[in-house]
Chain A
Amino acid sequence: MLTNGHLVWLILFAPLLAAGAIMLGTRRLPRVSAALSIGAVVLGFALSLKLFVAVLQGQAVVAPSVVWLDLAGWQLVWAATVDRLSALMLLVVTGVGATIHVYSLGYMRGDAGFARFFGCLSLFMFSMLGIVLAANFIQMFIFWELVGVSSYLLIGFWFERPSAAEAGKKAFIVNRIGDFGFLLGILLVGSVAGTFNFAELAARWPTLGLSAGTLALAAGLIFCGAVGKSAQFPLHVWLPDAMEGPTPVSALIHAATMVAAGVYMLCRVAWLLAASPEIMQLIAWTGGVTALMAASIAITQRDIKRILAYSTLSQLGYMVMAVGLGATTEAMFHLTTHAFFKALLFLGAGSVIIALHHEQDIFKMGGLAKKMPVTFATFLIGTLALGGIWPLAGFYSKDAILLAEMDVNRPLLVLSLITAGLTGFYMARALIVAFLGKARDAKAAGHAHESPLVVTLPLVLLAVMAVIAGWHEEIPHFLKPDFHEHDHGAGVLLGFLAIPLAGFALAWLLYGRGAIDDVKLRRALGPLYTLLENKFYVDEFYLFLVNSVQGGLAAVCEGFDFVFVRGLSIGSAAGLTRLAGWCVRQLQGGYLRFYLLFTILGIAAVLIWVGR
């Protein structure tokens, strides 16, 4: 009899089995591969729903565990955590994952790597579910890295395009920088506490009596992992480039789930972070700065997927900021609603991109509202939800964070409100420029038509979720039954609503009458526009760092090597040997007679010496 506990492992391993079967067996059978992959994720979704209900009813779900490593006095147990946090996250990952798997059927149709794509998606689902279910830091770290690998495979899916291959490498390397800190943090926590298990650690951590410095170091290093995975400043540079991957990948991995893994991890170890108020401040400010910076960059971008990528960065900044303020429930709430509407927006963008034969510049679109009504309607819902307009999901989750901020950190609140205004502006800009007005590029946008049902159905499903996910604040109440929002009265809420609306209005004023280009915005912002267009020159700065500082250091090392290692020590030894070899070589003339002569002379010398 399969209990709920066994089902947990089925959820985790079904995608792995699908990935294995596709990679080993059905690579040449696209339909079978897709069916396997979609079957695994739909099964996972159904079982997650069952688990969710069980957790909701208060049943304890205990997955069977295995002792993985048994060292003297120390055990590592392979186990699963099933609580309210992971039950919700399972539902988000498999639910959004299932819609995106179906969508991929339409988006990837006819691609040479169709089967490989589904294999990689399933591998990703396995890794992501592993992070969600991990019961200890070691397990989490393994899946954390697996997520990095599958993300690399999917960003570089079209590896014959150099830019995609580069983007994959960049994502992997930047993530590794954060992961290195994460690993150090895990080892530090494990060595001072003697266990890696989350539940044991949570109970033991406050009783260890550690110094403030150790607590801050542990929390800071663990936070490094989230900075890499959730693309926070200063490791945010990989996410916009990751848009080189196919759009379903951008939706699933780089918007809805994987980048949320950092936030999920922070919520999972909130007790560890809360032990160090300084690091909490750092986390909150990192999130706030990332949110504002990304939102301001987004207003100048032209590529529809890049606009959404910066918007993702910005929203992740909100979540990290909420974690830093101790509002983990609000952070998870926003994570959930964001997964729905951001996946929706990306899939909508994907629908536009297929219709326009892979044209991604919004200024070459225009007038798509009439030609693609379903895509337009769902994209509009996504935009309003992201902007935080009542009564869509984004309104509830974003305001929960803003209200929590109002109590503890007013400067950050100002930062967030500016971000909210910018969010309204850049989303409205993308929507107006891409969908309204006249088709500006007749070749691409002129012949666009609505995408097939396999593409629009996931859009509609996600749109429904983007509308209702916030209602009654069911999600935070599920996570924390005694959750109550920080109440500041209806006036404050109206104020919060007015700010994104002002952003929308401003965008309408600038682009409402069919902007051909960004001339007006460029004139209004002046040099600031150039700065934003170049993303604050962060990439250039890193390039400078690598070329000048690292390159300079390498040149110095190379000089040392040349003079002392290759020159004086190895060079002199080699030169001496070579000289000696040259002298002796002169005897080896190759003439048989000389060899004989030398032999005879040698024998004669020996005889003379013996007969002496």
Chain B
Amino acid sequence: MMHVGLIHYLAVSGALFALGLACIVLRRNALLVFMGLEMNLNAANLALVAFSRYGGHADGQVLATFIIAIAAAEVAIGLAIIVALFRQRSTVVTDLLRSLRG
């Protein structure tokens, strides 16, 4: 019988983070890039909570709570930026937003 240990949690967390990163780099829709970002944050949360559980102290959970609060604020701002961008440019496809090209 296999025990679910810290290493499993970290593996899931790492997989989630990699998926999120892939989403950020590969997707062209700003909304999906944003979702990838959220996934990264949650991957970090998972890792923190797992460390907290197996480490035997509460620091990781405190940090995770903070991250959830910050993520909420970030969602509010990020979505607002995307809406504003859409109003301005009628698109949220990042490849079309190339004004900073050198």
- A: which residues have CB within 8 A of B? 584-593, 596-597, 600
Contact = CB atoms under 8 A, between A and B. Distances in A.
Nearest to B30: A592
Interface in B9-28: 21, 24-26, 28
Given A591-B94, A592-B33, A593-B94, A600 B102 contact: no
Interface residues of B, number: 14
B102 A596 contact: no
Contact of A591 (B21, B24, B95): B95
Contacts of A584: 102
Contacts of A593: 24-26, 28, 94-95
Contacts of B100: 588, 590
A590 B26 contact: no
A585 B97 contact: no
A591 B102 contact: no
Closest 4 interchain pairs by CB? A588-B102, A590-B101, A590-B98, A585-B102
B9 to A, nearest CB: 21
A142 B21 CA distance: 79
Contacts of B101: 588-590
A591 B24 CA distance: 12
B90 interface: no
10 contacts: A585-B102, A589-B101, A590-B101, A591-B94, A592-B33, A593-B25, A593-B95, A596-B24, A596-B25, A600-B25
Contacts of B95: 591-593
Q: Which of A587, A591, A592, A597 has the most CB of B within 10 A?
A: A592
Interface in B48-102: 94-95, 97-102
Contacts of B33: 592
A590 B46 CA distance: 33
A548 to B, nearest CB: 50
Nearest to A585: B102
Contact of A587 (B21, B97, B102): B102
Contacts of A589: 98, 101-102
Nearest to B37: A596
Contacts of B28: 593
Contacts of B24: 593, 596
A592 B25 CA distance: 8
A597 B95 CA distance: 14
Contacts of B98: 589-591
A585 B102 CA distance: 5
Nearest to B28: A593
Q: Which of A585, A588, A590 has the most CB of B within 10 A?
A: A590
